[in-house]
Structure formats: C-alpha cells, structure tokens
Structure 1
C-alpha cells in the first residue's frame, strides 16, 4: 500500500499522527451511534473494524460491510482487518446496483468521501437508497471555500461551505451537524474554528 496524504493506513503510521487520530476519532464517534447492519462506503483499508467490534461493552454492530473503489485497499483490509462479522467488497459508492448486491442497512458511514466525487448529489441519493426506513447516515467532509470553487487539494473535486453541505443533505428528513477539530467532535461552538463537518442524517 502506498501512503499518501489522503490514505490512512494505521499500521504504517505513527500512532500520534494527527491525521490518523482525527480519522480514528470519527469511527469512535460512530461507534456510540451505529448498531445492527452497517455499511461503510469508501472504507479505505478497513481500520474501522477493530474500532467497531473490539469494545464488546460498546459495540452493537451485528454486521459490517466495507466498500471501496480501490481494489488494493480491499485486499489489504481482508488480510489485516478480517473479522467474522465483517465483509469487504470492491465497489463504487455511487453505484446504484449496490442495493441489489448488498441489501439495505440500518446505518451508512461515509467519512471524507463526498469531496472526492463529481456526482455528489447522486452519492447522497444512493446512500438514501441503501438505508432501511428510518435509517441513519454519518457523513463527514472538510470545510472549504465552496462547492463551485476549484479546490487546491488535487484529490478533491471541491470543499464545501457548511451551507453547501446542508443543501446537499436536504433529501434527509433530519440532519444534526457536528464539527471536528483534531480528535474532538462536538456540537459547534461560536467563535471556535473547526476543520471538518460531520452530519448525522436520518431518512
């Protein structure tokens, strides 16, 4: 696996790496919310699995499916993060046939994905299709200058303002917004600078 500024590979990184700690914090946050059947879209190398399953007193996840478009990530996940209740599949987060392949889920997680996609609205619609009635999605993305403004990050199509992000999430019935700085995720406080948004969205 090649380590880039966009790829988190915990076993190849210093545990004190700030980016690693930020990513792990999002899954720890998710672990306090998700249960039942969980889909992780753009799962990367699968490091969510030990976070979601290795704390038996907390974990309520019955089944985890990780999907990533990068075949090498999925191969790595199968070797390093295999678990009896986890499955890893190569696939596109915008593929509308995923519902036929995988069925529907109680929760969909997709962290740091949407800013990479040209068809961001299609991605949101696909998440809604993959959720069971009353299901919930956890979606995060970094703050940016705006949806229609070219992004300096070569890996990102754009980076959203909070208004842009909320507009994309309007198909959900309920959206609760959290902000993140370093490993801290909280309801936004006035006058505090944050780097990322994390939305908990229910259909």
Structure 2
C-alpha cells in the first residue's frame, strides 16, 4: 500500500468528487494534447499521469518515462499502471547525472514539483538539458507569497508569485501561460489573473 502523504494523488484511494483529484486529472488531460515522441513525466508520483499520456496518446508517443524520488511510489506505479510504452524509475529531479543517464526527450511534463525543490536551479537545468531542441515543456505550480517566503504548506519549500513563475522560462523563445482553478484551465488574460486562479501552467518550446 502506497502511503498517502496528504498531497500524493492516489486515484484508487480517492472519491471521484475529490477536488484535488479532479484538478490533477484535468491537468494531465490538458497536457496530453501536447505530448508526443519520447515523453518524460518528471516527478511522476503514483504513475496515473504517465498512464493517461501513454494510453490516450498511443499513436503519438514512443515512450513515457516516469521518474520519482520515492521508491514506494515507483513500485506502486509499476504494479498499478503498467503499459507497454511506459517505464517508471527512481530518481531525484536535481540529480545532475540524469541527462547522461536518460538522454533527451521530445516532451517533458512536470506538475506540482518545483514548489517541493530546494535546488530549483538544478531542477530547471536538468529539464533544459534533457529537452530536445524544438521540444515542449509543460510545467505547473501553485502560486503563493514568493521565493523564500513560508507558504503554509508542510511539503512546499515556497510558492512562487506569478511573475517569478514566468521568469523561470526566460531561456525558452516560445512560451504560453495558462491558469487553473479546479478543472478549469484558461489561457493568460488580464481578467483571468484578476479572478485569482491559484495555479499556473507554462507550455514552452525550446
């Protein structure tokens, strides 16, 4: 049995109307339309998101690699979300040897990860090095008071402001921002920001 940390999404243990589950599932269904070729699900947790990509994009995806730091989560993913084109591996998103070990990807997805990462620069460097030229990055995070400020969330290092989030992608020539509230995801627009959407999603081309 995979331990529920309070933040971990384990669909099999959650009710269908659970807001956290709906939010996370919606994000992967939104992202799947951008997934192609060799895909990395960076911090894949229990593996449900990798499975959504593998199953729904079978004619567009060559392989889906899920990486997570928790061996129990990887074990659970392997047992629960088997798919012929999926592989789940234990790994740290800040491990600077990962680009050599894993190679490059056409698409990298990392949802609700960066707020947990102290070594943010190493995480973003790994993503950039592992993304092929012309590849697509899809990354999300909840907004908060800003870098270095307490978020009030037990497992979050901090939560970035909207501006800090957007500044993460300065090296990407083509980027679009979306904002999420529950299952609703909308493209960047002044009215959207004013409505206080609590989560941001960036879609960037290298």
TM-score range, shorter chain: over 0.9
**Match runs of 1:1-203 below 5 Å:** 1-55=2-56, 60-189=60-189, 190=191, 191-203=194-206
* Offset at residue 5 of structure 1 (A): 2.2
Q: TM-score, normalised by structure 2?
A: 0.94
* Offset at residue 59 of structure 1 (A): 5.3
Q: Label 1:12 to 1:187 Cα distance change in 2 as closer, same or farther (>3 A).
A: same
Distance 1:54 1:83 in 2: 8
* Offset at residue 120 of structure 1 (A): 1.0
Distance 1:187 1:17 in 2: 24
Distance 1:50 1:75 in 2: 14
Q: What is the count of residue pairs matched by the alignment?
A: 202
* Offset at residue 158 of structure 1 (A): 0.4
* Offset at residue 99 of structure 1 (A): 1.5
Distance 1:117 1:144 in 2: 15
* CA offsets 1:99-128 (integer angstroms, 9 cap, x no match): 221110000000000000111122111100
Question: 1:49–1:83: 8 Å Cα contact kept in structure 2?
Answer: no
Question: 2:96–2:126: 8 Å Cα contact kept in structure 1?
Answer: yes
Worse-superposed segment, 183-192 or 173-182: 183-192
Question: 1:31–1:59: 8 Å Cα contact kept in structure 2?
Answer: no
* CA offsets 1:3-51 (integer angstroms, 9 cap, x no match): 2321000011112111001001111011111111000010001001332
CA-atom RMSD in angstroms: 1.3
Distance 2:196 2:166 in 1: 18
Q: TM-score, normalised by structure 1?
A: 0.95
4+ runs of 1 displaced by more than 2 Å?
Answer: 53-56
Distance 2:61 2:107 in 1: 10
Give unmatched runs, 5+ long, in structure 2. none
